[in-house]
Amino acid sequence: MASVLVVEDDQFVRSALIRQLTDASHTVRSVGTALEALREVAHVRFDVVVLDLGLPDLDGSEALKMLRGITDVPVIVATARDDETEIVRLLNAGADDYLTKPFSVEHLLARMAAVLRRARSGGGAAPSPVIRVGGLTVEPLRRQAELDGQRLDLTRREFDLLAFLAGRPGVVVPRKELLAEVWQQSYGDDQTIDVHLSWLRRKLGETAARPRYLHTLRGVGVKLEPPAHPPGAEPPR
């Protein structure tokens, strides 16, 4: 059983979701605007938020950014916008998952179960108190990471991905394993992984074309290893 906040302005859809989630033994609260949603999460601890993007007072993507400013509660975005650019933007804005309308309640329940497993398990992060790889320091128990002594501002999913890879330095981790261990999913596409890798690379000060820590082996997987040369050092000639 989970505590769920449904943010949906369509009364018919909202009533249906409340009924179906309640029938599935979840505790449900619902609001119809972004501002109401912000007030709710500021005063009530929820396990998951189902956020519609077509809200009357504020665009849902802006509401998502504001939610991320005050809470790390898992957010599943419900959207009729199914183009790749929009989905990438939503994931970059902090969405944990998304559903394209119309969707079945079974699909929603499956996505909820997945994000709840990830949130409760810590995303499979290694139990070691401190992981050091080159200038990278990861503390899974405190959920903190530093690069060359500077604190990294990471989302929950970014941290889970970084901690999982840092706990296996130099090991190529297949994408299916990342989906299973970090995302707690037995299926999915590579887009979700690629988006989070790209986001994480930016915060590590690297790019896919010029990697330092994160290396993608096309068709195989991803590995994290210390850079061959320290920052500012010239490679040997």
Q: What are the structural domain ranges in the chain? A: 3-122, 125-224
> What single-letter DSSP state applies at residue 140?
T
Can you tell me the distance from the alpha carbon of 16 to that of 6, in angstroms, rounded to the nearest whole number? 11
Q: Using one digit for the tens of pLDDT, what is the confidence trace for 17-37?
A: 999 999 998 999 999 999 999
**pLDDT above 60 for 226:** yes
**pLDDT above 50 for 126:** no
Contact between 164 and 178 under an 8 Å Cβ cutoff? The reply is yes
> What single-letter DSSP state applies at residue 217?
E
Whether domain 125-224 has CATH 3.40.50.620: no
Q: Using one digit for the tens of pLDDT, what is the confidence trace for 138-163?
A: 988 778 899 999 999 988 888 889 99
Q: Sign of dihedral through CA atoms 117, 85, 144, 210?
A: positive
Residue-level pLDDT at 189: 63
Strand order in the sheet with 214-217: 173-174, 221-224, 214-217
**Which pTM does this prediction carry?**
0.56
Contact between 184 and 121 under an 8 Å Cβ cutoff? The reply is yes
Highest mean pLDDT among 122-126, 127-131, 148-152, 191-195: 148-152
Can you tell me the distance from the alpha carbon of 172 to that of 220, in angstroms, rounded to the nearest whole number? 8
Closest CA to 4 of 124, 108, 158: 108
Q: Which CATH code, of 3.30.1130.10, 3.40.50.2300, 3.20.20.140, 3.40.190.10, is assigned to 3-122?
A: 3.40.50.2300
Residue-level pLDDT at 22: 92
